[in-house]
A and B are shown apart, each in its own frame.
Chain A
């Protein structure tokens, strides 16, 4: 039943299909802990993204899988085989580097066939494979150019072809679209996902761009401060963030800080200074009296001139419209609350028939199930 779902994340939980597995992997540089006890299973044929801000440990994780760095403790398995002591040139893994790292003294073809040449594949065979791969990344006709004569996007494709021609078990991509302009990046996102489906190779993709990760990935691992905070499909991570950091990093979230009064089932009640009590769903174990943050996404907030329309359990908050910015299909509203906090609300522009004037008094409502309660200290579980 689960197997029929298009979400790869469901099938990989079975373990036997693991392509890459990290077991309690840690990496320290002197006193600095770059990676703290990462355990993760990436399924065969999965498009998996490691997402987080710079310095979160995502590139270090990639370097451990690629073999460019050794873990300080823990183990790494590729296709079920421990590779902790295997040098990069003996791993069934290839990498697309952020800077592409094309060999400047070789032609495009020579770059692409380099891996096969090192494996001892004979000249005519590897030439043919390189030409095929170049056609696949739409670079036919560029065989005899040198990297210096190509545009950024073309170099990116050469780097991709050079890695994929070796048919690795796993392809590692380190922010490969980072150096491209926005339009080209969107186009390459589509091409990368198409290519990944076509070749069926496990992709481990490192990015700090949450939109990119959401658009391309089967599953995403969100990282911060050297720790893996949450792993799940894009929808799971967006709709059910397990940490305050995840909720704030993926999409946008309004934050109201207060003290937890009581918890019934998974619904908690928070006392917020100047605003009174508000309810939301709690994540994890929280004891009454704890300092907590109540987070609500901007698109979940409704406002009306008539508060009685809000649902029965809804929170009604009076506010004053400070600023409205029309961003095309969305309009962003900034509404000031009684305690001075500004809340951001998104509404589809076409649903607003009579735009509220600046200074208008509004009543904000949301479903209590849409508000999340996390410990106030960011990213502590």
Chain B
């Protein structure tokens, strides 16, 4: 290298500047390699810091949830056991979420087949229209549903909440099941027919078992979404409130510490549901794809 520099000065300056450039590039690359994980950590911190404090304060032995931490207690969790209004609200939420799950998943399964398999005009448009409600604010959906139920003279009840929840969960369910159905090898249906299975048997023994992880995943997602929903519920509920509405009513009179305990329990349950749903819908398909 030095020999080359001495012998050919012009080439040497070129070599020096290119060496300079590569060192800058290397530095930049090293910075990037550190920065990218840092952004990732920042993102996670942003998402989970509020939840972390919520969980932390649910164990804080003080009536006002604030720092400093006054000592560990389980008494807020204990209080949950005596909040009978909350018990009824929780029952309502489970009732609503269960029916929403059954209705939404069934409709989504039936809808996914034509959406994925049939060829028709405006197919792309219809696929867009199906997922559009995902981006409509729940506030607007709630108002629209309330206007609609009033228009058709439908008294507000748990039924109207279920219908409202079906409306907003359906796009999610259709998305999950469509994805599963999209990767389905249709030769398998020919093979089943070839082996003597009529269309009903083909569905029962071949199609359904293979798309089942998608259906279960969709069901878990719908259940979790319905359990956590507040805005639409708020607009279309009658006498019987859900767990999210109960929390809202507790918060109106200042922050009751048992809300933190209740929220922690709900977050944990939602988290388990989502992980299970993701594992079933995503994990199962990768296991199969790996030959």
| Chain A residues near B (Cβ < 8 Å) | 66-68, 87-90, 93-95, 97, 99, 101-105, 114-115, 118-119, 147-148, 162-163, 166
6 contacts between A and B (CB under 8 A): A87-B193, A90-B196, A97-B187, A97-B191, A103-B188, A105-B288
**Judging by beta carbons under 8 Å apart, are A148 and B196 in contact?**
no
| B14 close to chain A: CB less than 8 A | no
Task: Please name all residues of chain B whose beta carbon is closer than 8 Å to the beta carbon of A68 when the two chains form the complex.
Answer: 190, 193-194
A103-B206, A104-B288, A105-B209 known; A88-B188 Cβ under 8 A: no
Task: Please name all residues of chain B whose beta carbon is closer than 8 Å to the beta carbon of A119 when the two chains form the complex.
Answer: 196
For the residues of B in contact with A, the DSSP-based class is: helix
Task: Please name all residues of chain B whose beta carbon is closer than 8 Å to the beta carbon of A105 when the two chains form the complex.
Answer: 209-210, 288
| B197 close to chain A: CB less than 8 A | yes
Task: Please name all residues of chain A whose beta carbon is closer than 8 Å to the beta carbon of B288 when the two chains form the complex.
Answer: 104-105, 148
Instruction: Please give the number of chain B residues whose Cβ is less than 8 angstroms from any Cβ of chain A in the complex.
Output: 21
Cβ-closest chain B residue relative to A148: B291
A104-B210, A148-B291 known; A115-B188 Cβ under 8 A: no
- Of the candidates B195, B198, B210, B291, which one forms a contact with A114 in the assembled complex, judged by CB atoms under 8 Å apart? B195
Give the distance in Å from the alpha carbon of A89 to the alpha carbon of B194 in the complex. Answer: 5
- Of the candidates B194, B206, B209, which one forms a contact with A93 in the assembled complex, judged by CB atoms under 8 Å apart? B194
Task: Please name all residues of chain B whose beta carbon is closer than 8 Å to the beta carbon of A166 when the two chains form the complex.
Answer: 195-196
Cβ-closest chain B residue relative to A150: B291
Q: Mark B162-195, 1 if CB is under 8 A from A, else 0.
A: 0000000000000000000000010110111111
**Judging by beta carbons under 8 Å apart, are B190 and A89 in contact?**
no
A105-B209, A148-B291 known; A94-B195 Cβ under 8 A: yes
Task: Please name all residues of chain A whose beta carbon is closer than 8 Å to the beta carbon of B206 when the two chains form the complex.
Answer: 103
A103-B188, A105-B210 known; A148-B195 Cβ under 8 A: no
| B30 close to chain A: CB less than 8 A | no
Cβ-closest chain B residue relative to A66: B194
Task: Please name all residues of chain B whose beta carbon is closer than 8 Å to the beta carbon of A99 when the two chains form the complex.
Answer: 185, 187
**Judging by beta carbons under 8 Å apart, are A101 and B188 in contact?**
yes
Give the distance in Å from the alpha carbon of A94 to the alpha carbon of B197 in the complex. Answer: 12
Task: Please name all residues of chain A whose beta carbon is closer than 8 Å to the beta carbon of B188 when the two chains form the complex.
Answer: 101, 103
Task: Please name all residues of chain A whose beta carbon is closer than 8 Å to the beta carbon of B210 when the two chains form the complex.
Answer: 103-105
Cβ-closest chain A residue relative to B186: A101
Give the distance in Å from the alpha carbon of A250 to the alpha carbon of B209 in the complex. Answer: 45
| B78 close to chain A: CB less than 8 A | no
Give the distance in Å from the alpha carbon of A27 to the alpha carbon of B291 in the complex. Answer: 36
A68-B190, A101-B190 known; A89-B197 Cβ under 8 A: yes
Q: How far is the CB of B252 from chain A (nearest CB, A)?
A: 51
Cβ-closest chain A residue relative to B284: A105
Q: How far is the CB of A163 from chain B (nearest CB, A)?
A: 8
Knowing that A87-B198, A105-B210, A118-B197 touch, tell me 5 more A-B residue pairs with CB under 8 angstroms. Answer: A93-B194, A94-B195, A99-B187, A103-B191, A114-B205
Give the distance in Å from the alpha carbon of A303 to the alpha carbon of B205 in the complex. Answer: 66
| B121 close to chain A: CB less than 8 A | no
A105-B209, A148-B290, A148-B291 known; A118-B187 Cβ under 8 A: no
A148-B288, A148-B290, A148-B291 known; A101-B187 Cβ under 8 A: yes
Cβ-closest chain A residue relative to B290: A148
Task: Please name all residues of chain A whose beta carbon is closer than 8 Å to the beta carbon of B192 when the two chains form the complex.
Answer: 103, 114
A101-B190, A104-B288, A105-B209 known; A115-B185 Cβ under 8 A: no
Task: Please name all residues of chain A whose beta carbon is closer than 8 Å to the beta carbon of B291 when the two chains form the complex.
Answer: 147-148
**Judging by beta carbons under 8 Å apart, are A118 and B201 in contact?**
yes
Q: How far is the CB of A152 from chain B (nearest CB, A)?
A: 9
A68-B190, A97-B190, A104-B210 known; A118-B195 Cβ under 8 A: yes
Give the distance in Å from the alpha carbon of A91 to the alpha carbon of B207 in the complex. Answer: 21
User: 7 tightest A-B contacts by CB?
Assistant: A101-B191, A115-B195, A118-B196, A101-B187, A88-B193, A95-B194, A89-B193
Give the distance in Å from the alpha carbon of A335 to the alpha carbon of B109 in the complex. Answer: 67
Q: Give the most central of A102, A103, A119, A163: most B CB within 10 Å.
A: A103
Task: Please name all residues of chain A whose beta carbon is closer than 8 Å to the beta carbon of B195 when the two chains form the complex.
Answer: 89, 94, 114-115, 118, 162-163, 166
Task: Please name all residues of chain A whose beta carbon is closer than 8 Å to the beta carbon of B197 when the two chains form the complex.
Answer: 89, 114, 118
Q: Give the most central of A93, A95, A101: most B CB within 10 Å.
A: A101
Give the distance in Å from the alpha carbon of A103 to the alpha carbon of B191 in the complex. Answer: 9
- Of the candidates A88, A104, A114, A115, which one forms a contact with B190 in the assembled complex, judged by CB atoms under 8 Å apart? A88
Task: Please name all residues of chain B whose beta carbon is closer than 8 Å to the beta carbon of A103 when the two chains form the complex.
Answer: 188, 191-192, 206, 210
Task: Please name all residues of chain B whose beta carbon is closer than 8 Å to the beta carbon of A147 when the two chains form the complex.
Answer: 291
Task: Please name all residues of chain B whose beta carbon is closer than 8 Å to the beta carbon of A163 when the two chains form the complex.
Answer: 194-195
Q: How far is the CB of A204 from chain B (nearest CB, A)?
A: 13
Q: How far is the CB of B68 from chain A (nearest CB, A)?
A: 55
Give the distance in Å from the alpha carbon of A66 to the alpha carbon of B196 in the complex. Answer: 12
Cβ-closest chain B residue relative to A155: B291
Cβ-closest chain B residue relative to A104: B288
Q: How far is the CB of B281 from chain A (nearest CB, A)?
A: 15
Give the distance in Å from the alpha carbon of A87 to the alpha carbon of B199 in the complex. Answer: 10
Q: How far is the CB of A104 from chain B (nearest CB, A)?
A: 5
Task: Please name all residues of chain B whose beta carbon is closer than 8 Å to the beta carbon of A97 when the two chains form the complex.
Answer: 187, 190-191
Task: Please name all residues of chain A whose beta carbon is closer than 8 Å to the beta carbon of B201 when the two chains form the complex.
Answer: 118
Give the distance in Å from the alpha carbon of A118 to the alpha carbon of B288 in the complex. Answer: 24
Q: How far is the CB of A76 from chain B (nearest CB, A)?
A: 15
Task: Please name all residues of chain A whose beta carbon is closer than 8 Å to the beta carbon of B205 when the two chains form the complex.
Answer: 114
Task: Please name all residues of chain B whose beta carbon is closer than 8 Å to the beta carbon of A67 when the two chains form the complex.
Answer: 193
A103-B206, A105-B210 known; A94-B194 Cβ under 8 A: yes
Task: Please name all residues of chain B whose beta carbon is closer than 8 Å to the beta carbon of A101 when the two chains form the complex.
Answer: 185, 187-188, 190-191
Give the distance in Å from the alpha carbon of A358 to the alpha carbon of B233 in the complex. Answer: 91
